[in-house]
Amino acid sequence: MKKNLFLVLAVLLVAHLPAKADEGMWLPFLIDEALYEEMSRMGLNMSQEEIFSFTEASIKDAVVSFGGFCTGEIISDRGLVLTNHHCGYGRIQSHSTVDNDLLTDGFWAMTLEDELPNEGLFVRFLLNVEDVTAEILSVLSDDMTESERSAAIREKSNELTAAATEGSHYTANVRPMFAGNYFYLFTYETYTDVRLVGAPPSDIGAFGGDTDNWEWPRHTGDFALFRVYTAPDGSPADYDPENVPLRPRYHLPVSARGVQENDFAMILGYSGRTERYLTSYGIDYRLENMYPVRIDIRRAKLDIIEEAMAASDEVRIKYASKHSGISNYWKNFIGMSESLQRLNVADSKRELENAFHEWVQADPGRTQTYGHVINDFQRVYEGLKQFRSHNYIFLEAMATGPDALRVANAFNNLNTLLEEEGDEEEIRNVAERLQGMAERTYRNYDMDVDRNLWEAMFEMYHELAPSDQLPDVFETISNEYANDFAAYANSAYAVSVFADADRLEAFLENPVPGVLNNDPVFIAAQSVYGTYRELMQQMEDYSTLLQRTERFFLRGLMEMEPETSFYPDANSTMRFTYGTVNGYHPRDAVYYDYYTTLSGVMEKEDPGHHEFIVPEKLKELYQTEDFGPYATNGLMVVNFITNNDITGGNSGSPVINGDGHLIGVAFDANWEGMSGDILFEHDMQKAINVDVRYMLFVIDKFAGASHLIDEMTIVW
């Protein structure tokens, strides 16, 4: 078995020199002495153990994975959680009605009894991390196929996680790092009773909307408050009125002193996904095959949803969270595409690949090990191009298009049981599970909106996908409806049990054979999902080759550049990034300062534009300069920027100063740095943060919820 290369890598990983301060999503448990000394020179006044420790209470213990998609931080000794408004948006929406519109009016619980439970929401604390690379590698060989390798990793990982959690309520997983060259075992404690405590109205929490999204300057109070509850004995428990607020191991002090340019800033959070080692071939493929179709299809969905939301408050509330999710990455894809081209990122990657090729060819041993890498990248992406973006077309138009289609796809197992006259108890159990899924979907569903999405998405699928990759349902649309997609949509929704919540509920109460096989939405789902699975199977050879090639490429890079500081791509595990508060020059003769103020909110006010409405009370506070103790020299700071390296998943992450005090909440990145998931742009890339003083001002002076401030540890 070929183990020697892994031993070489183990040496390389700890032989780093510190990277430029602003770049790097570091594993906090691997902060070495060189990185720590660099941070200390920049203004860090804490020990490494005070930031991250497995034995003593540390900042790490105040940082949580919020719902698995964002980050939050504990800011009181009673389990108060701070995160972004947009992270809590779906939960705020779920409690909203036309008569009690929390999205529009905001929400502030004045007592613990007023706090609102949220089914399915959780926070997760990191308890321990163990390097299990040696254990995993002991069952691997470079001679394995990718499927054999994956099976061996899975089996060993299951063994390790079972041992780590035996006899406890903890959960654990093994996560690969450096493209599968290293492995770490993460152990967590999860709490499932998380209640909404406070949220500003969207005119503060989402001020600027899509227009300002991914832009600087920003003027957005993007924050919300939740609280973690436990059983009376302090253990995790599902919602129960008898539960009590969490007593955390650690909570972050909140600084009301403000920030200055060049102040040290660090961020801990659950960074989602980066691809810093993506090759030029991957970039070219995305620019040609991924971004264009995803941008176009998302724009079409947004047009339909926005028109319906503008016409009905009921629809606006139902589709608010879905619209936000579609819109966020619609603009992200545009920014990524433009930045990658503007910065010629593929060309810089080609330079690295050429250097790698020359290094490989200079040594017979390296040629034997890595000589296939560049050719394999070429082979992979040429192979993927033959599928003409089908996987992205399907993902956007079908898998995340009309809700009825997605729901119908979940009924395959029930249909099989019905047609084969399966066990009645099993049928009933499956139907009950489907009822729960349907209830969650149809509470935010409108038939007219979904029918319009169906029409538009099937038409776009027909236009964008190659004819030889179209599912057979399109023959029906051609033969029976002459490619009139509106007529097809109207016909399907007139009779399908999936088009209407009451029809579906009635079917699930008495599921009988034959109904699904004659349902036009179920037939369509079978067709489009079946075709997708067939094409993905054809793409599998290229996908597995890509996985293997990326692993060898990164291994070779680390061997080629032993003095370079490598950090693993983000993969939703806790990461640490450090930098400073500062402004930047986005283009010639233009400079953006490092902070914005409430004056900018008033300058942007536009009563005729729903994204730039300013609440009357906020205007009154501004006009009377009633900022309480939260202003600096008469200025109410709203947002500030740092050069910290963040990505999706870092939303809601704490921005912490050199003394370990909370100074801000990360919520966005800037337009000029949109290539950041693939290439960090040192001169331009910024993290955009809510200043905690603005948060305190809104809670205290705007909402009158000073009791929440009273339970925080404020540093004046």
Read off the pLDDT of residues 154-192 as tens digits, 9 standing for 90 and up: 999 999 999 999 999 999 999 999 999 999 999 999 999
- The confidence score (pLDDT) of residue 32 equals 84
Rounded distance between C-alpha atoms, residue 37 and residue 314, angstroms: 55
2 pLDDT band (50/70/90 cuts)? very low
**Catalytic residue selected from 86, 219, 251, 390:** 86
Spell out the residues 6+ positions from residue 607 whose beta carbon is closer than 8 angstroms to its own: 613
Give 569's DSSP letter: P
Rounded distance between C-alpha atoms, residue 620 and residue 624, angstroms: 6
Six-digit token string for 345: 């990122």
Read off the pLDDT of residues 629-685 as tens digits, 9 standing for 90 and up: 999 999 999 999 999 999 999 999 999 999 999 999 999 999 999 999 999 988 899
- Write down the pTM of the prediction: 0.94
pLDDT at 8 over 50: no
- Is 170 strand, coil or helix? coil
31 pLDDT band (50/70/90 cuts)? confident
Catalytic residue at 94?
no
**Catalytic residue selected from 193, 222, 403, 691:** 222
Give 26's DSSP letter: B
Report the chain's mean pLDDT, rounded to a whole number. 95
Read off the pLDDT of residues 445-499 as tens digits, 9 standing for 90 and up: 999 999 999 999 999 999 999 999 999 999 999 999 999 999 999 999 999 999 9
21 pLDDT band (50/70/90 cuts)? low
pLDDT at 351 over 70: yes
One CATH from 3.40.50.10490, 1.10.3720.10, 2.40.10.120, 1.25.40.850 for 1-122+192-276+569-716: 2.40.10.120
- The confidence score (pLDDT) of residue 565 equals 80
Mean pLDDT of 581-604: 97
Mean pLDDT of 4-24: 45
CATH 2.40.10.120 domain span(s) along the chain:
1-122+192-276+569-716
Q: Kindly state the helix (H) or strand (E) to which residue 545 belongs, with its residue range.
A: helix 520-560
Catalytic residue at 222?
yes
Which residue blocks in 500-647 are alpha helix, DSSP H? 501-509, 520-560, 598-604, 616-623
**Catalytic residue selected from 255, 651, 653, 675:** 651
Six-digit token string for 180: 């599968």
* DSSP code per residue over 323-353: HHHHHHHHHHHHHHHHHHHHTTHHHHHHHHH
Spell out the residues 6+ positions from residue 78 whose beta carbon is closer than 8 angstroms to its own: 227, 245, 246, 247, 711
Determine if the peptide bond prior to 217 is cis (ω within 30°).
yes
Q: What are phi and psi of 74, to 5 degrees?
A: -80, 125
